[in-house]
Amino acid sequence: MPGEDAPPWGSPGSEPPPQPVLGLEQPSSELVCPVCRGSSFRDEEGRLQTRWGMSSHVLTMKVCDRCSHVLLFHQGSGMAM
């Protein structure tokens, strides 16, 4: 029966892994500022409320030490006050 020799899902296939395309950067786990390409940040936390105060969101802010550009990361919803 065709397809019986195919590996089960999640196991390595018979094809080699794809090679990176020349000229494209590989993604890295290091945070880089999209404005100045800096990699040094200051951490701050804050809360953002919706217009009518019905909900709020807790944010982590990464402030670039080089150009002061702010990157926002959502931590989760907070209680409305």
Apex 76 CA angle, 49 and 32, nearest 5:
100
Quote the pLDDT of residue 56: 85
Tens digits of residue pLDDT in 1-33 = 555 565 555 555 566 666 666 665 666 678 999
- Model pTM? 0.55
Tens digits of residue pLDDT in 48-81 = 888 888 888 889 999 999 999 999 998 866 555 4
